[in-house]
A and B are shown apart, each in its own frame.
Chain A
Amino acid sequence: MDDDRQFTNRCACGWEISGSEDEVVDATIEHGRRIHNMEATRDQVVAALHAPPVVDDAADAKAG
């Protein structure tokens, strides 16, 4: 089941990649190294892909 999951990763610069976890991780590491001089590890990218969603505090305040 997990092998079928699709992931998407976006860069603040506008670059975006979708695919399997391996595809997204590899492309993210390559994009970071080539375009932004970043040396991200596989674990760092995987952790970001599985991180909980960002909570919009402003939206929550309005809703609350």
Chain B
Amino acid sequence: MFAAGGPASTGPGAVDCGYDGAVSRTPAGWDVDSPVQAEVFVVWLDGDQLQLTGPDGPQPWILQLGSVEHPVEVVDRIVRDVVGPPILVHSTSWRRDRDAVILSFVVVIDRELVGDMASLPIGRAELARSEATAAPRAIATGAVVEHGLRHLAWLAKDDPVVAAELPAGWQPILADYVPEPFRNLG
């Protein structure tokens, strides 16, 4: 996850190129590299508009998952520590990406927890459909979010716990999504 910038060009032999000395060269690269990773989409309801947010803004929030860790427990713990207590934590799909198995999670939070985290309205997107015996060739983030919300729409009708926990206003929004169960996206 981390990209090291290395020492600034202030030491012996450094060439003064007039740039900011704090960043001297191309990052070497450091990333979450566990064989199983979580990709968290933090969602909240703003009036009648679903918004995507997180500590990194609306981009997918990547978590490392250890071999003995339960993915749901990790997501719940990290979200609770960084953002606050989630309303719902649900794994909605999985796929192969980033040289790992990626478990996608939709996390529902109350709007009071959003604070100054950057948000982006969630638009509708086409799903990434599998072929008969093969995964989709490409999967956009929007397709993962779309499927996640369709899965949540399915849970809202099928799972009494989810139906009870979803705040007022969510049910009519999710009614516009075609319910889908958990599935492999690629």
Bound form: Cα–Cα A51–B6 in Å = 7
A64 within 8 A of B: no
CB of B55 within 8 A of CB of A10, answer: no
At the interface, yes or no: A50 with Cβ under 8 Å from chain B? yes
B6→A50 contact, CB < 8 A: yes
A49–B56 contact, CB under 8 A? no
Chain B residues within an 8 Å CB radius of A10: 2-5, 27
Among candidates A37, A50, A56, residue contacting B74 with C-beta atoms closer than 8 Å: A37
Given A35-B78, A36-B64, A37-B78, verify A53-B28 contact (CB < 8 Å).
yes
Contacts of B50 in A (CB 8 A): none
A7 to chain B, nearest CB (A): 6
Main secondary structure of the interface of B (DSSP, over half): loop
Chain A residues with Cβ below 8 Å from B27 are: 10, 53-54
Partner of B57, one of A14, A45, A52: A14
Nearest-neighbour CB distance to chain A for B71, whole angstroms, equals 10
Q: Residue B2 contacts which of A48, A52, A54 (CB distance < 8 angstroms)?
A: A48
**Partner-A contacts on B (CB < 8 A):** 1-8, 10-12, 21-23, 25-32, 38, 55-57, 59, 61-66, 69, 74, 78, 81-82
Residues of A within 8 A of B (CB): 1-2, 4-15, 18, 28, 31-32, 34-40, 45, 48-54, 56
